[in-house]
Amino acid sequence: MPLWVLFLVLLSLSSSCSHCSPSPSEASRTQRSSDAIFTNNYRKLLRQLSARQLLLDIMSQKQRNENQEQVEKAQLGHKVGSVCTNQKLTTPSNSLLALLQKHSRNFQG
């Protein structure tokens, strides 16, 4: 059968049904399909928002931990600094001088 005959048959079939309204089952199927598309896109959006919120929570927790560590280091440094100022600070030259004086006393007496 030539191709143009097939084309004419298809054209006549489609033109005869073009004035027909879709059946109720086709309309409900289309409605269900559009509902499914909306639902799928909505769920995808919710998953993305949830993942973004989880990421922000993790990042803020990490930032809080880093800030807490910095505060603890600053407090430790302050404590060490106050201990050093309370004690007599000796420089290496002062320590050497004190050893020499002690050693010379041992030789003299």
**Using one digit for the tens of pLDDT, what is the confidence trace for 41-87?**
999 999 999 999 999 999 999 999 988 888 888 877 766 555 555 45
39-77 burial code (b ≥16 CB/10 A, e <16): eeeeeeeeeeeeeeeeeeeeeeeeeeeeeeeeeeeeeee
pLDDT of residue 18: 47
pTM listed for this prediction: 0.40
pLDDT of residue 55: 92
pLDDT band at 34 (very low <50, low <70, confident <90, very high): confident
Among residues 75, 91, 92, 94, the alpha carbon closest in space to that of 83 is found at 75
CA 80 to chain centroid:
37
- The rounded mean pLDDT for the chain is 75
